[in-house]
Amino acid sequence: MKQIERKPSWLKIKLPTGEGYTRVSRVVKEHGLHTICSSGMCPNIGECWGNGTATFMILGDICSRACRFCATASGKALPPSDAEPAKVAESVKLMNLRHCVITSVTRDDLPDEGAQHWHDTITEVRRQNPNTKVEVLIPDFNGNTQLLDIVLKANPDIVAHNLETVERLTPSVRSRATYQKSLSVIAHIAKNGYLAKSGIMVGLGETQQEVEKALSDLAAGGCKAVTIGQYLQPRGNNLPVVEYVTPEVFDIFKAKARELGFKFVESGPLVRSSYHAEESAKQSE
């Protein structure tokens, strides 16, 4: 499949600059933290870091899976760092965050897939930052509800798990994860009384009807917040972009999601999972 060469005007990105960006960058570097902002090559890093927000990535920067859309490195990872929960919590305090987002690589190699480390990190962030909202973007834990419950018992404010793409494309886009398993994770989150959130990429060859079906499936599982953004090929060995979806189509997706009952919707070419996360918490209450 041939990749589209020219990006449209609505995908132009401002280079990261400014005092806020420099400050957040310094905290991340000094504390040896991993962020999905940088490892995921997020196009909004300038805006988010400039506003003093960042999405922390725990459990290292090596993923046990190799999803074809993702820029995060895959392979054999180091054991989790016992010091990481405190480092993340201290950094949240230094950045004076009102809303903290935490995600992780997938760790199929660990006996509990990192669930206890997740629990410890959320607990320590809450201990050091009692007034900060905590949003987590978790892997699927292979659909193991016992492991999911270890994370949930730390009582995060928002629990996100990304569906990523439509059902037909899931086998060619994601590694090991399945469409139905992700829906079951979302349903388990919602059933336990937590605000469930998810994200979808477009531009991989899906149809508008397939996106609307995915939104409908998420809504049926109790998902209340959703992000929809343009897939951008991070590296040459990742999947190529099939289509640059126009802003007008993103507006159609947003209207459909609202019609389905989602309380918070961010739909646009540069939208990513944690984009405007603090606003999603406020609007979804």
Residue 1 has a pLDDT of 42
How far apart CA 134 and CA 97 sit, in angstroms, is: 10
Pair type for strands 34-35 and 264-267 = unpaired
Q: Who has greater pLDDT, 161 or 46?
A: 161
Residue 94 has a pLDDT of 83
Residue 282 has a pLDDT of 58
CATH architecture assigned to 14-284: Alpha-Beta Barrel (3.20)
Domain boundaries of the chain, sorted by first residue: 14-284
Q: What is the pLDDT of residues 157-183, one digit of tens each?
A: 999 999 999 999 999 999 999 999 999
**Who contacts 63 (Cβ-Cβ below 8 Å, separation ≥6)?**
70, 72, 73, 74, 77, 105, 106, 107
Confidence of residue 201 (pLDDT cuts 50, 70, 90): very high
Confidence of residue 50 (pLDDT cuts 50, 70, 90): low
Q: How far is CA 140 from CA 156, 160, 176, 178, 223, in A?
A: 16, 10, 10, 9, 15
Residue 43 pLDDT greater than 70, yes or no: no
How far apart CA 105 and CA 80 sit, in angstroms, is: 11
Q: What is the pLDDT of residues 112-156, one digit of tens each?
A: 999 999 999 999 999 999 999 999 999 999 999 999 999 999 999
Query: HSE-up of 160 (CA within 13 Å, CB side)?
Result: 28
Residue 99 has a pLDDT of 84
Q: What is the dihedral of CA 61, 186, 116, 275, to 10 degrees?
A: 40
Q: What DSSP string runs through 20-79?
A: HHHHHHHHHHHTT-EEHHHHTT-TTHHHHHHTT--EEEES-SEESS--TT--SEESPPPP
Q: What is the pLDDT of residues 250-259, one digit of tens each?
A: 999 999 999 9
